[in-house]
Amino acid sequence: MTHGTRTRSGYGIALALALGPAIALGLARFGYALLLAPMRASLHWSFTTAGALSTVNSVGYLAGALLAGPVIRWRGARMAFLLGTGLSAMAMLATAGASNPLTLFGLRTAAGVSGAVCFIAGAALVARVSPPASVRRAAALLSIYPAGIGVGIVISGAVTPWLLAAVSSPSAWRWGWVLFGGLGLLGFIVTMPAAVSCDEPPVRPSTRERWPLKQLAPLLVCYVFFGVGYIGYLTFVVAYLQGRGASPGFITAFWIVLGAMVIAGAFGWAPAIGRLRAGRAPSLILGVVCLGTLLPLVSRSSIAAIASAVIVGSSVVALVAAVMAIARRSLPPQHWASAITVLTVGFAAGQCLGPVLAGVLADHPAGLEAGLYASAGLLAVGSIVALAQRHLDGNLGDDVALGPALAKTGSQGAGS
């Protein structure tokens, strides 16, 4: 097989595997924002309860992040990815038939667990697609994979508001979950051959050697603040816009723009991530997300809301890429897995707090604005904390050139 053929095959596999994040995160996690308002009205929930349903999904994601490593060692990354993707789809279908709060909480927790396992195992498979020496190609492939989250957001935004408007029933939200689950099963069928075709990533033998956590402590803390702030925004911004009288058509446009910018942002931030050292890239991205979160609060215009979708959507995946790039640059290869696991756990822990915090504030007289202002404030704090991260050059392996490669790749339209 020629190099060109391998390259085309690698991109095709990465595109197919990206359906995993599209299902497990774009639909199963973020699609809830489109169904929150009708579920709350039909089931007579407070904003606190509605936020708690998102929180338990984040708790499940935290548990899944902790379980992903053992599951991959037990069953392999291919099986873990397929199990995570398939169970995410099944959890969405089961949510359509549930009414009891405890059952719904259990299903949303299960969707979080399966979503984390899917995402982490799929990332390991994508990293395995290209040779270790091909840094630029690895950067491009690893950018395609999280962009799948945006694909799921775009699809859900394109169909859900119209479905809810067409089904004039208090139970219209159930059809939303049926739609998400059906799309999830279809995506699972499409992605299965790609997953099976991948080589299994090597399993690192257990070791007592610990990675130097203190070196990346500011990065971990700012990642926690990001998890709290951004998930509060994504959980409640649609309900906030609907409360201001936004039409189904506008909600469709808003969510599609948000998802499309998630896809674009996976590539557009690459030059900055490659050039900025220490914690400056995460600090800049967090500041931009904070600005985007504030826009619909300081202005009630439709332009401000769409601008918010553009800014937030284009930046959220970039922050994940920036954090992972710093971890890879700062530590030797044997510490990458441990560092990324701890960073992901911190991020997931922040996501557990964000929705319920925003929901509690939303139930007070200030309403949803208070919760969204709190999200923006926490993002601002995270931006400041990120500046305390020092530049480190602990990576002595092939990926030491990841930063410059990201910049070069991003200038060609494909980055990390």
What DSSP string runs through 191-235?
A: HHHHHHHSPPPPPPPP-SPPP-GGGGHHHHHHHHHHHHHHHHHHH
Q: What is the pLDDT of residue 202?
A: 66
Instruction: Convert the pLDDT of each residue in 178-221 to its tens digit.
Output: 999 999 999 999 999 999 988 777 665 555 556 667 778 888 99
How sure is the predictor about 398, in pLDDT bands with cuts at 50, 70 and 90? very low
- The class that CATH gives domain 12-200+213-411 is mainly alpha
What span, in angstroms and rounded, lies between the C-alpha atoms of 221 and 225?
A: 6
Q: What is the pLDDT of residue 407?
A: 34
> What is the b/e burial string over 242-275, where b = at least 16 CB atoms within 10 angstroms of the residue's CB?
beeebeeebbbbbbbbbbbbbbbbbbbbbbbbbe
Q: What is the pLDDT of residue 206?
A: 52
Instruction: Convert the pLDDT of each residue in 75-118 to its tens digit.
Output: 888 999 999 999 999 999 999 988 888 999 999 999 999 998 99
Query: Can you tell me whether residue 308 is helix, strand or coil?
Result: helix
Q: What is the pLDDT of residue 183?
A: 94
Instruction: Convert the pLDDT of each residue in 264-323 to its tens digit.
Output: 887 777 777 767 777 788 899 999 999 999 999 988 899 999 999 999 998 888 887 777
How sure is the predictor about 337, in pLDDT bands with cuts at 50, 70 and 90? low
Q: What is the pLDDT of residue 414?
A: 29
Q: What is the pLDDT of residue 397?
A: 41
User: pLDDT above 70 covers what percent of the chain?
Assistant: 82
Q: What is the pLDDT of residue 309?
A: 93
Q: What is the pLDDT of residue 293?
A: 92
- pLDDT at 50 exceeding the cut of 90: no
Q: What is the pLDDT of residue 267?
A: 75
Instruction: Convert the pLDDT of each residue in 122-181 to its tens digit.
Output: 877 887 775 555 555 655 666 778 888 888 988 988 888 888 887 777 788 899 999 999
Please name the amino acid found at residue 343: L
Q: Where do the domains of the chain lie? A: 12-200+213-411
Q: Residues with Cβ < 8 Å from 189, sequence gap 6 or more?
A: none
Give 144: exposed, middle or buried? Use CB within 10 Å, 0-12, 13-18, 19+. buried
For residues 265 and 144, the answer to whether their CB atoms sit within 8 Å is: no
Q: Which residue has the higher pLDDT, 357 or 188?
A: 188
- pLDDT at 402 exceeding the cut of 70: no
